[in-house]
Chain A
Amino acid sequence: MEKKTESLVHVQGLSVGFRVFEGLLKVLQELSLQIRPGERVGLVGETRCGKTTTMKSILRVLPQPPAVLFGGEVLYRGKDVLKMSRRAIYQLRRSSIAAIFQDPLQALNPVFTVGTQLTDIVRDWAAGTGKKMSRKEIFQRCVEALAQTGMPDPERIMTCYPIQLSGGMRQRVCIAAALVRPIELLLADEPTTNLDVTIQDQILRKLDELVEERGMSILLITHSLGVVMDRTERVYIMYAGSIVEEGQTKEIFANPLHPYTKGLLKSAPRLTGEGISQGIPGRVPSYLDPPSGCRFHPRCEFSMPICQKERPPLLTMEESHQVACFLYQG
């Protein structure tokens, strides 16, 4: 029980599915993770492994239906987000949690200027917290937020529509929108996936600085292993709806235990030029009829009979290094 109070977010045994025409997609399977105050946490996995579903569950923005919640809880400072009243959840999103979504063009409204969209957020936040701000103060605050992301000429950008900006600038607008008000937790879903490396480096560095300055926590969701290595302290490796490995980023990258993590790390091209491995055979399974037991067993080279029958529990290997695999049991 002590752990719960010290963590900012504590997701426990979360199971989420989607009811679609073909049947029921069982996506998240008893997923658990926690984020402590001031911590930078990574969530890594391939496409379709449920990263975005996890993030949207924490924010409670998944439309229900088609989403179906089977069980589990998302505790934010000890309170269950999934059972909160509508008003409480709005208050939470207004003043505690912010999100950066993957595609900035979809996250921004194309028919309003950047300025309108940013000032709306600040006005709503000010109204919610009972602060009185003049129009000028609100404007000034938005310009500052844009300038903080390294955007050149922020006052002109305020009058632009999203289509007038480049991909890197749009993403910076999204970051500014998330950080224009003081928050405790930032959920960043692939914030730099569509950007060039030089821009990616600039944006992540800026994000790092801002996170450090304000002492907030960040959940960085990505499929780029390099980004996670550089920018996070702790990492969760996710496969087909559950966490397969968890631990300090450095420790996991130096000493991966789960066969999936190993395969993923081996597939990443290296600067040392030692060639490229064969990758991981097969693909992420269909969620309509996911494999029984460990969901990774059809692709795993160390698969044992028990893997098909039972779900592996999360085993603690060392202090703060956990792995869900039968290879390490007993």
Chain B
Amino acid sequence: MSDAILTVENLKKYFPTRRGTVKAVDGVSFFTMPEETLGLVGESGSGKTTVAHCIAGIYAPTDGKIVFKGTCISQDFRKRPKELKHEIRIVFQDPGSSLNPKKTIGQILAVPLKVHQITSKRERLSRIIRLLEMVELSEDYVFKYPQALSGGEKQMVAIARALATNPSYIILDEPTSALDVSVQAKIINLLMRLQQEMSLTYLFITHDLSLMRNVANRVAIMYLGKICEIAPTVEFFQRPCHPYTKMLLSAIPVVSEEEKLLKPEKIIPRGEIPSPVNVPLGCSFHLRCPEAREFCSYLDPEVVQLNAGHTVRCHLFTSKS
């Protein structure tokens, strides 16, 4: 896709450990269009966060290419030009540990402004107050410490910090998974409004599929460092194809009867995600797959294009077509 804002091609990130190489991300490819929200869903240990960290430049990828607005950025954070650093920002999962407890909110928000020389010293305070206003916090928060804030407010400060440099691409790494539903609703609405006002592109990482249904334009499902299915949200929930996707969808607890009808036929989940140190041969999902064939245990499936924008990585679809 030439008009995509960010393209990831065959991204790999291996971590050498004493017990062998951990293939956290193993050949992931996707793209994001400007001003869209791409949802990245997976269980813990599937490599979602590693993908995010590679894009943000926290890790240098082992192999593969990340292209942002036409320039290749797949090198280390330190080698990245400063202009890029303020284009791509990240919001972490746990706001409790991503804010320095010994600094006031004002000091925390001043750091990106100083580093990227966004404002002069004199205008800095007014800019911080404007940032707080953007995330619906009043200006007396400037002198508060993170410990005086609730979880939701801390996450809002973290979002304000990401917005400080006028970015165009924001990675949201499970921004609401530590919060209650009533607070989650507030933060999601805030994020959606900011996306429209500032024409932001989001990479939204989560394990909550019901949330994804309401937030994302397209959804990608990750399993053991590989993407098994990508589809536009509506199609994804109407016609899930990969057995893992179906298993995930049928396992989510829902609140109303209408929703129960939307879930695919019950697949009883079994097993756990294997350790990424010794990924099973062949299709990495075959040990838990209810429809596994004999060749799944030694043959790794290719990515199959089903129709526009809907790709799946499963033998069930290679043999039929």
Listed in ascending order, the chain A residues whose CB lies under 8 Å from chain B are: 46-47, 166-169, 196-202, 205, 223-227, 229-230, 253-254, 263-281, 283
- Please determine whether B185 and A270 come into contact, CB atoms closer than 8 angstroms: no
The answer to whether A279 and B186 have CB atoms under 8 Å apart is yes
Question: Are B210 and A271 within 8 A (Cβ)?
Answer: yes
Contact residues in A for B308 (Cβ distance below 8 Å): none
Q: Which of A226, A229, A253, A276 has the most CB of B within 10 A?
A: A276
Report the Cα distance A167→B152, complex, angstroms. 25
Q: How far is the CB of B101 from chain A (nearest CB, A)?
A: 19
Taken together as a complex, chains A and B put the C-alpha atoms of A227 and B251 apart, in Å, by 10
User: In the complex, what's the smallest C-beta–C-beta distance from B221 to chain A, in angstroms?
Assistant: 12
A-B contact pairs, 25 of them (CB 8 A): A47-B180, A196-B44, A197-B207, A198-B272, A200-B253, A223-B181, A226-B253, A226-B255, A230-B254, A263-B182, A264-B182, A268-B210, A269-B185, A269-B208, A269-B211, A270-B214, A271-B252, A271-B263, A272-B258, A272-B259, A273-B214, A276-B215, A278-B186, A279-B182, A279-B184
A226 touches B233 (CB 8 A): no
CA distance A200 to B210 in the complex (A): 15
Q: Mark B99-124, 1 if CB is under 8 A from A, else 0.
A: 00000000000000000000000000
Beyond A200-B251, A272-B259, A283-B152, 9 extra complex contacts between A and B, CB < 8 Å: A47-B151, A168-B272, A169-B272, A198-B247, A229-B256, A266-B185, A268-B255, A269-B211, A270-B259
- What is the CA–CA distance of A270 and B211 in the complex, to the nearest angstrom? 7
| B179 → A minimal CB distance (Å) | 8
| Chain B residues closer than 8 Å to A168, beta-carbon distance | 272
List CB contacts (< 8 Å) of B239-258 with chain A. 247-248, 251-258
Contact B185 A267 (CB under 8 A): yes
- A-side contacts of B233, CB under 8 Å: 273
B-side contacts of A279, CB under 8 Å: 181-186, 189
- Chain A's closest residue to B254 (CB) is A226
> Considering only CB atoms, which chain B residue lies closest to A260 in the complex?
B182
User: Which residue, B185, B189, B257, has most C-beta atoms of chain A within 10 A?
Assistant: B185
Question: In the complex, are the beta carbons of B273 and A196 less than 8 A apart?
Answer: yes
A276 and B259 form a contact (CB under 8 A): no
**For A272, what are the chain B residues with a Cβ–Cβ distance below 8 Å?**
213, 258-259, 262
B185 contacts across to A, CB distance below 8 A: 266-267, 269, 276-280
B1: interface (CB < 8 Å):
no
Residue of B nearest to A277 (CB): B185
Instruction: Say yes or no: B272 contacts A199, CB within 8 Å.
Output: yes
Q: Which chain A residue shows the least CB distance to B273?
A: A196
Closest partner residue, chain B, to A273 (CB atom): B213
Asked if B138 lies at the interface with its beta carbon under 8 angstroms from chain A, I say: no
A-B contact count (CB 8 A): 132
B258 to A, closest residue via Cβ: A272
Chain B, range 30-46, C-beta contacts under 8 Å to A:
43-44
Q: How far is the CB of B232 from chain A (nearest CB, A)?
A: 12
- Does any Cβ of A come within 8 Å of B292's Cβ? no
Residues in A with CB closer than 8 Å to B151 are: 47
Tell me, in angstroms, the Cα distance from A274 to B259 when the chains sit together.
11
B259 touches A271 (CB 8 A): yes
Q: Do B255 and A270 touch (CB < 8 A)?
A: yes
Q: Given A168-B272, A263-B182, A276-B185, are A269 and B44 also a contact pair (CB < 8 Å)?
A: no
A266, B43: Cα distance in complex, Å: 26
Interchain CA distance A210-B44 in the complex, whole Å:
27
Residues from chain B with a CB closer than 8 A to the CB of A254 are 256-257
Residues of A within 8 A of B269 (CB): 198-199, 201-202
Question: Is B150 an interface residue, CB under 8 A from the partner?
Answer: yes
Contact B248 A198, beta carbon cutoff 8 Å? yes
- B320 at interface (Cβ–Cβ under 8 A)? no
| A197 vs B206: C-alpha distance when bound (angstroms) | 12
Contact A198 B251 (CB under 8 A): yes
Leading 7 A-B pairs by shortest Cβ distance: A226-B253, A279-B185, A198-B269, A201-B251, A267-B185, A279-B186, A280-B182
Q: Which B residue's beta carbon lies closest to that of A205?
A: B268
Residues of B within 8 A of A46 (CB): 180-182
Contact of A271 among B248, B254, B270 (CB under 8 A): B254
B189 touches A276 (CB 8 A): yes
Q: Which residue of the partner chain A has the closest CB to B251?
A: A201
Q: Which residue of the partner chain A has the closest CB to B46?
A: A196
Chain A, Cβ-Cβ closest to B252: A197
Assess whether A229 is in contact with B251, with CB atoms less than 8 Å apart: no
Partner of A269, one of B213, B247, B268, B270: B213
A223–B263 CB distance below 8 A:
no
Q: Is the CB of A196 within 8 A of B213?
A: no
Contacts of A264 in B (CB 8 A): 181-182
Q: Contact between B262 and A267 (Cβ–Cβ < 8 Å)?
A: no
Most B CB atoms within 10 A — which of A168, A169, A229, A271?
A271
